[in-house]
Amino acid sequence: MLSKQITHLNIDIKNANRESIKITSKIFVLILSLCKKLIDLNFCDLFFERKHWNSLSHLTETSLMSSTLTKLKISLQTFTECLFLLDANFESLTTLIVHVELIYYSIRHINNTVCIQFRSSFL
């Protein structure tokens, strides 16, 4: 019943480690699938000093979908993760705020139709 009422949700994960990345990505998918009225989600991006860097690229694109979400704020491990997120099915998304931990050269095929190449001079 509560999952049909939640519209705004802030998730903070304190003292997370690298091993918990797959668990938190499953939590992210679970939130998207259960919260049918969710319009604003801040996932692990509440406090800059304790960022939890999420990884989503091992998920299937169909698991990342929401017809109601309009604003998403999330911290991701790599820029490639951000591109994967942009390929997801968020029908109503108008605001996306992403903090990226690492930008590096990558070649990534998304949805078997787009080849993305990115080079960074920051490293």
pLDDT value at 77 more than 60: yes
Q: How do beta strands 89-90 and 71-78 pair?
A: unpaired
- Identify which has the larger pLDDT, 111 or 16: 16
User: Per-residue pLDDT tens for 24-73?
Assistant: 888 888 898 899 999 999 987 666 666 677 777 667 666 678 889 999 99
Does residue 123 sit within a domain?
Answer: no
Looking from the CA of 16 toward its CB, the CA atoms found within 13 Å total 22
Q: What is the pLDDT of residue 18?
A: 65
Spatial separation of the C-alpha atoms in residues 74 and 44, rounded to whole Å: 6
Structural domain contains residue 67: yes
pLDDT at 92 over 80: yes
Which of 55-59, 76-80, 92-96, 113-117 has the highest average model confidence (pLDDT)?
Answer: 92-96
Tell me, yes or no, if the pTM score tops 0.95: no
Instruction: Give the pLDDT of residue 58.
Output: 67
**CA 65 – CA 51 distance, rounded (Å):** 24
- Residue at 111 is within a domain: yes
Phi, psi dihedral angles at 75 (to 5 degrees): -105, 130
User: Residue 109's pLDDT is what?
Assistant: 53
Domain that holds residue 57: 2-118
Burial of 106 (0-12, 13-18, 19+ CB in 10 A): middle
Residue 38, Cβ density class (10 Å: 0-12 exposed, 13-18 middle, ≥19 buried): buried
Q: Could you tell me if residue 98 is inside a domain?
A: yes
Exposure string (b/e) for 61-88, b if CB count within 10 Å is 16 or more?
A: eebbebebbbbbbbbbbbbbbbbbbebb
Confidence at residue 91, expressed as pLDDT on a 0 to 100 scale: 86
Total number of domains in the chain: 1
Residue 12 pLDDT more than 90? no
Q: What is the pLDDT of residues 97-109, one digit of tens each?
A: 888 887 765 555 5
